[in-house]
Structure 1
């Protein structure tokens, strides 16, 4: 699997794991219906506590990215992914506020900030085409 965690990061491991699975979906490395490793298997493969994997999986389940079946295991949601709604847009604004204020404080211009965002969008699109 494509998961690479930074154990020295200040970002919690379960958040890194959650974000990387969502990134895998966005880059089309994971598709609707694809199986994911079990909690125990992924924890052993990465070398982290199974409760950490479970916490990431529970968040992904709540957000609609994965389904957890007792018999089938963990799968990427076969019905597709949640679309951006007003609740998501509000959450996005709240998430961007500290990033933008930090960028402004560091004298990063709006154009530079927007370019970083555009470059990331292009990176995802390019990687998605290669799958």
Structure 2
């Protein structure tokens, strides 16, 4: 898996790295158990500071997309939070439609639940 960043883009480079990993997992290019490059290696390859790549990896770990296992490296866990949230949303839509709620009523229920 090759990563690339656009230093002139409005999107921060750590976010570009994070997004590319999430997309690669979602697209099946990275599978559970696959190793990501070490932080220092990827930082060097992309011309980034080590802390920049480390920030991307920390966000991926917080989202349960990867796990850092010390000397064993950083490995892909799966699609993580974003895909799980999409699946939960799809299940919710199916259920509220079964109940006969309109889209507006379904959204109102979500808004109530978020407060």
Is TM (by shorter chain) over 0.5?
yes
Q: 1:10 to 1:85 in 2, by over 3 A?
A: closer
**Structure 1 residue aligned with 2:59:** 59
The CA distance in 2 between the partners of 1:65 and 1:59, in whole Å, is: 9
Deviation string 1:2-49 (CA, Å, 9 cap, x unpaired) is 212111011110001100110111111100000111110110111111
Q: Which runs of 4+ in 1 moved over 4 A?
A: none
| TM-score w.r.t. length of structure 2 | 0.68
In structure 2, distance between residues paired with 1:59 and 1:2? 19
1:85, distance to aligned residue in structure 2 (A): 6.9
Unaligned runs of 5+ in 2: 90-115
CA distance in 2, matches of 1:71, 1:48: 22
Q: Distance in 2 between matches of 1:27 and 1:53?
A: 21
Residue 84 (structure 1) aligns with: 85
Matched residue SS, 2:68: strand
